[in-house]
Amino acid sequence: MPSTQAQRVFGPFSDLLVIDLTHVLNGPFGTTILGDLGARIIKIEPPGHGDDTRSYGPFYKDQSLYFSFVNRGKESIVLDLKSDVDRNLFLNMVAHADVLTENFRPGTMKSFGFSYDELFKINPRLIYASSTGFGQTGPLASYPAYDTIIQAMSGIMSMTGFPEGPPTRVGTSISDLCGGVFMFCGIASALYAREKTGKGAYVDVAMFDATLAFLEHGLMEYVASGKPLDRIGNRHPFMTPFDVFASADKTFVICAGNDHLFAELCKAIGRPELISDHRFLSNQHRTLNNAALKVDLEVTLKKQPSAHWLKVIHEAGVPVAPLLNVAEAAEHPQTKARNMLIESGGVRMPGNPVKISGYEDPPTRVGAPTLNQHGDALRIEFAASALSAAA
């Protein structure tokens, strides 16, 4: 293994070299998945401050967790792509790469002379992936975007929250993350196709498209009725009871997604008469009368603490869960059992959710690089390979 490389785990993508021009969240999240599965990721950062997120909080031991969470295990080199020397080094890196990723506004890479068509001439096996706000086509292609812009325009904010409240941003950067996941999916698919064709491909992913694909219930309602889905709080729009309920001390979640589970729930809490109530005879009836059913259930549920109901309802085979905060979820035994809170560079962060038999899923991983940490070594490595290729 060349000395320039950060120590990586062995994975299904261990033979891949990825040149990563992405910044902030959506692109780096996607390339981190590749890195967690073994790929070598060389992160190219601009002169000065590097990736914007290096200056974003929160900070832990003087390092940005925003940056660290989605750049672990990568190598960092600062390149000025307006400099002839650095441009030539970049092109030599591309010539040896399997994948190039970028999330600049459409047209930016072309303005540098680094469009897919140009880089394809250098490396016809290259998978070139772009993940942007609105994609490379359409009337909004050139619009700048952050996660909240996409949440606002995709419809997801309009259907999030309670009826009496305003449209609400989802409590994480869901559009950025969806874009990153679909970029990873596109890259993996293009790599599979390359095994059969021998040719690279251009992958065009839009955060807007990715978020629309995750709307599911909202689009179902629109297709069925021609109307947008109203904000309905925590309940499911098409299954009832499927909501957050109050007990004597805490709220908790019950998900009874069919008639059988509803009947078992009613028996478990001592309310068997609700099974034959004409308002609740089927899921459709229960959904139409969801408010009345919630009142009836909470009359009983408020008589005992949540711990009692969690035990009783679970033993009846009905899906039920406590309502945990982030700290409680992070420290839950299930999180530990699935290795979903790892240590990377001395920082605790989410682990890799993709578990593949035959490949290690270590609890400790290489941390995010400092700015230009691998710059000198990478310049030597790729300058040497350029001389070798010229010879």
Residues annotated as catalytic are 236
Quote the CA–CA distance of 122 and 191 in Å, as a whole number.
18
Give the count of alpha carbons within 13 A of 225, CB side only.
9
Quote the CA–CA distance of 279 and 275 in Å, as a whole number.
9
Alpha carbon dihedral 272, 278, 283, 284, in 10-degree steps, equals: -170
Give the count of alpha carbons within 13 A of 270, CB side only.
8
Strands across the sheet containing 242-246: 242-246, 251-255, 320-322
Quote the CA–CA distance of 148 and 385 in Å, as a whole number.
43
- Which among 36, 93, 12 has a CA at the least distance from the CA of 368? 36
Strands 127-132 and 341-344, how do they pair? unpaired
Q: Which pair of tokens denotes residue 283?
A: 């899921």
